[in-house]
Amino acid sequence: MNRDEFRRFGHEIVDWISDYFDQPERYQVLPDISPGDFAAQIPKAFPEKGESMSEIIGDVTGKVAPALTHWNHPSFFAYFATSASAPGIFGELFSAAFDVKAMLWRTSPAATELEQVVLDWLRQMMGLPAGFDGIIYDTASVASMHAIAAARESLGLGIRERGLSGRSDVPLLRIYVSEHAHSSIEKAAITLGHGQESVRTIGSDSEFRMNTQELAKAIEEDRKNGILPLCVVATVGTTSTTSIDPVPVIAEICKREQIWLHVDAAYAGSAAIVPEMQGILAGCEHADSLVTNPHKWLFTPFDLSVLYTPRLEIMRRAFSLVPEFLRTTDAESVRNGMDYGIQLGRRFRALKLWMIIRYFGREGLAARIVEHCRLARVFAGWVEESTGWERLAPVPFSVVCFRAVSPQNDGESIEEHKNRLDALNESIMLGFNSTGEAFLSHTKLNGKITLRLAIGNIRTTEEHVNRAWNLLNEQRARFVG
């Protein structure tokens, strides 16, 4: 592509993206399509000869964009709402242009060092101790898997060298999580060869926080049975309700029992940059590792997840493997990103985070997080004041768990009433989402189908939240009358 074409198409794409953000509601948040509809528009045969860039861009804007679920839509309230901010998009653009593979310091000096600098900024903003080093991974799932591999390495069982299979000298290793922990921990156990049964689920209290007495008992019982604790995973901001496990107590148990403590703060960790909210990470200063996802609530385009650990050397011990063709004569002190994970080449993700933090400043980022929490409290207030709805969990951050209710009918059993409310809420959610105006998702709390309204998009205003509330009430009226 020649220079003039590159400029012309580059400007065209940036103009298109600018219009996309100017009218974020131009597309339905959920596209009105069925599986296979999109692929049917794309030729099955690959192009033998190159096509014109105009035609390709036309297909992206004309075919791909309308068939996407729009995570940038301000009425995206499902899962954890996220958004790509402008400086983050520019960071991605530069990063794609540089196309560095940040595996060795030598292959990417600025990428390697910027990662260290920007992660130290974020560490300071979150109030984590100075000894915590950060490493960027793509996702929290992958970061947690690496943390658990490091926890395993810390046990000194020679698993890196001799593996697990066929060994009678390795006891069953146990990972403890609350019943509200993210499924990524179980996937890590599967991937690392420990199996799903190595994950022991601990119950939670009425506010969905890990029951620490049950944790202590489980560890004692396992030890009696010859099972060796591998790590405890505490969550700050659980996926269903954003509850915060009692990390200070869990940390004490881990210290006493000498067990690796991994904290999953994938969603809520970002909130610690708000000075008044820094208490959410109480006890995390004792963690052996902690993951947080700027791609969730720090306006960073997907993907960018950060793992902090005061035990970086163990991560290195678990993963460093240097073949001759990657050996360098650089000083021992330089960091080579490939030493801390299974990937060799690594994207230059730090650039977008650096640009975002510089553009907004801590203050600007924190103000948006505070506003999202305010909007969630406003919505929770409407739920609480209404007789047709109930709130099902506390609202420590920007997610509200709630459901529609209607009184038990004469002659209806408790079970029948519960099933009717579950069906009612499923219908409300499907009806709400099918409007294409807004999107929310659900979970199950105490066996009840629970709707979740998650606020996290940089373009969401009170008007969007208000519209969602009206839509919910319209849907409820359709089914309850």
Site string for ligand PLP, 173-212 (x = CB under 6 A): ---------x-x----------------------------
User: Residue 447 — φ and ψ, nearest 5°?
Assistant: 80, 0
Determine how β-strand 441-445 pairs with β-strand 260-264: unpaired
297 counts as binding ligand PLP under rule CB under 6 A: no
Specify whether the CB–CB gap between 295 and 301 falls below 8 A.
Answer: yes
One of 305, 336, 433, 457 touching ligand PLP (CB under 6 A) = 305
Q: What residues are paired with 402 via a beta bridge?
A: 391, 451
Specify whether the CB–CB gap between 264 and 234 falls below 8 A.
Answer: yes
- Measured from the CB atom, the residue of 336 and 443 that comes closer to ligand PLP is 443
Stretch touching ligand PLP by CB under 6 A, among 52-60, 62-70, 133-141, 225-233: 133-141
| Least Cβ distance, residue 2 to ligand PLP (angstroms) | 39
Stretch touching ligand PLP by CB under 6 A, among 110-118, 166-174, 259-267, 269-277: 259-267
Site string for ligand PLP, 266-295 (x = CB under 6 A): xx-------------------------x--
Residues in the chain: 481
Distances (CA, A) of 467 to 6, 76, 427, 470, 476: 41, 12, 18, 5, 14
- Measured from the CB atom, the residue of 266 and 318 that comes closer to ligand PLP is 266
242 counts as binding ligand PLP under rule CB under 6 A: no
Q: How far apart are alpha carbons 383 and 451 in whole angstroms?
A: 12
Q: How many residues bind ligand PLP (CB under 6 A)?
A: 13
One of 61, 116, 139, 441 touching ligand PLP (CB under 6 A) = 139
Q: What residues are paired with 210 via a beta bridge?
A: 204
- Measured from the CB atom, the residue of 264 and 339 that comes closer to ligand PLP is 264
| Least Cβ distance, residue 197 to ligand PLP (angstroms) | 21
Q: How far apart are alpha carbons 329 and 136 in whole angstroms?
A: 24
429 counts as binding ligand PLP under rule CB under 6 A: no
Stretch touching ligand PLP by CB under 6 A, among 263-271, 322-330, 373-381, 409-417: 263-271
140 counts as binding ligand PLP under rule CB under 6 A: yes
Stretch touching ligand PLP by CB under 6 A, among 39-47, 136-144, 320-328, 411-419: 136-144
| Least Cβ distance, residue 456 to ligand PLP (angstroms) | 11
306 counts as binding ligand PLP under rule CB under 6 A: no
Stretch touching ligand PLP by CB under 6 A, among 214-222, 264-272, 275-283, 462-470: 264-272
Binding footprint of ligand PLP on the chain (CB under 6 A) = 80, 139-141, 182, 184, 235, 239, 264, 266-267, 293, 305
